[in-house]
Chains A and B, each alone.
Chain A
Amino acid sequence: MSLSDYLLGMLGLYGPPALFCVLLVGAIGVPTPGSLLLLVAGSFVEQGEMGLWPVLALGFAGSVVGDQVGYALGRWGGRRLSARLSRWVGGEQRLRSAEDWLKRRQGGAIFLSRWLLSPLGSVVNITAGLTGYPWPRFLLYDLLGEALWVTLYVLLGRFFSDRVEEVSEMLGDFTWAFAGLLLAALLGWSLLRNLRAPSAEELKAGRGGAVADETS
């Protein structure tokens, strides 16, 4: 029996408190089928076996609390990892510039990884803590994203209440398709920018020309 089947069985038996626990540990990084559980919970709501508000409230609370734990782990437990990583990537300076870039871009990443790219959520939590992303802003994006994720998936579960596993598989496919497109867009943009930038020879020639102009 798979972990997924076991957790789905627990959800049927214990209801929203089980959902709270599973989403909490999933947000910390334990691989759990959070999206599938939300869909199944939505199906149970449709069947009248669970109340809508307890499912939404405990699902939301579990994921938000878990995200804060993940952030705290990165922030206060990640110093040693950070030091090791800085040696690995080639020095403190390079890590600092990566952190600066993340700080500028991370708001969108936090929001999107809550609901659209949810498999990346736990990694983003730890990275946000590790890079010292301001906690009030992390919390704001987290609350918005998790509210959207929990509501969207529970409502989808209600609508497709008789075939949630199949819908979950389909949504998983679209999530990875979107992640692939996003990565392709980032790589394509980076490649184009790189190709448009002047090469080392062009720069040298340009500088040589400027020196020649100054001396003449």
Chain B
Amino acid sequence: MRKLGWQQWLVLTLFLAALIVAGLFGVRGVRHALYWSTHRDVPIRAWMPVPYIAHSYRVPPHVLYQALGISPAHPHDKRPLRVIARDQNRPVEEIISLLQETIARERASGPPPPAPRARPSEGGTPP
């Protein structure tokens, strides 16, 4: 067999490194896909406007607007939570907790949300 020079060794090392990187990202992607095919509730983030949260959590937007002391209008108030928090002089974390409590209350009192495409949420954190 032909002896490898340093350049061939370098290319071989890079080849193996590229394969490892591809494998790691591939496995991570598949794990994410499997997790999010069976879980629904995404974490509430400061960039999200109220209609997006209502859509994600399958609750009527007016319930969330009322919880925040905003009158539900058409077209919807599209300010992100960060801006609502600033306008109301409150920390955004407080707004997020308030929305989480409202969603939990709404789900407990109202009819169950429509069946998701896969299994319903089981809580927990993404992999």
Contact = CB atoms under 8 A, between A and B. Distances in A.
B73 interface: no
Contacts of A12: 47-49, 52, 78-80
Interface stretch (A69-77, A81-89, A103-111, A189-197): A189-197
A43 interface: yes
Interface in A101-121: none
A139 interface: no
A161 B58 CA distance: 12
Contact of B83 (A9, A49, A187): A9
B108 interface: no
Contacts of B33: 170
Interface residues of B, number: 41
Contacts of B2: 195, 199
Given A44-B52, A195-B8, A8 B80 contact: yes
A162 interface: yes
A65 interface: no
Given A47-B51, A187-B18, A177 B26 contact: yes
A44 B20 CA distance: 37
Interface string B15-29: 100111111011011
A184 B18 contact: yes
Contact of A187 (B14, B48, B52, B78): B14
Interface string B70-108: 000001101110110000000000000000000000000
User: How would you classify the secondary structure of chain B's contact residues: helix, strand, loop or mixed?
Assistant: helix
Contact of A161 (B8, B36, B47, B55): B55
A183 B58 CA distance: 42
B106 to A, nearest CB: 16
B69 interface: no
Given A173-B28, A177-B29, A191-B11, A9 B18 contact: no
Contact of B15 (A6, A9, A187): A187
Contact of A162 (B14, B28, B42, B126): B42
B55 A167 contact: no
Interface of B: 2, 4, 7-8, 11-12, 14-15, 18-23, 25-26, 28-29, 32-33, 36, 40, 42, 45-49, 51-52, 55-56, 58, 75-76, 78-80, 82-83, 126
25 contacts: A1-B82, A5-B46, A9-B46, A12-B48, A12-B78, A13-B78, A13-B79, A13-B80, A13-B83, A162-B58, A163-B40, A163-B42, A165-B45, A166-B36, A166-B42, A170-B32, A173-B25, A173-B26, A173-B29, A174-B29, A177-B22, A180-B18, A184-B15, A188-B15, A191-B15
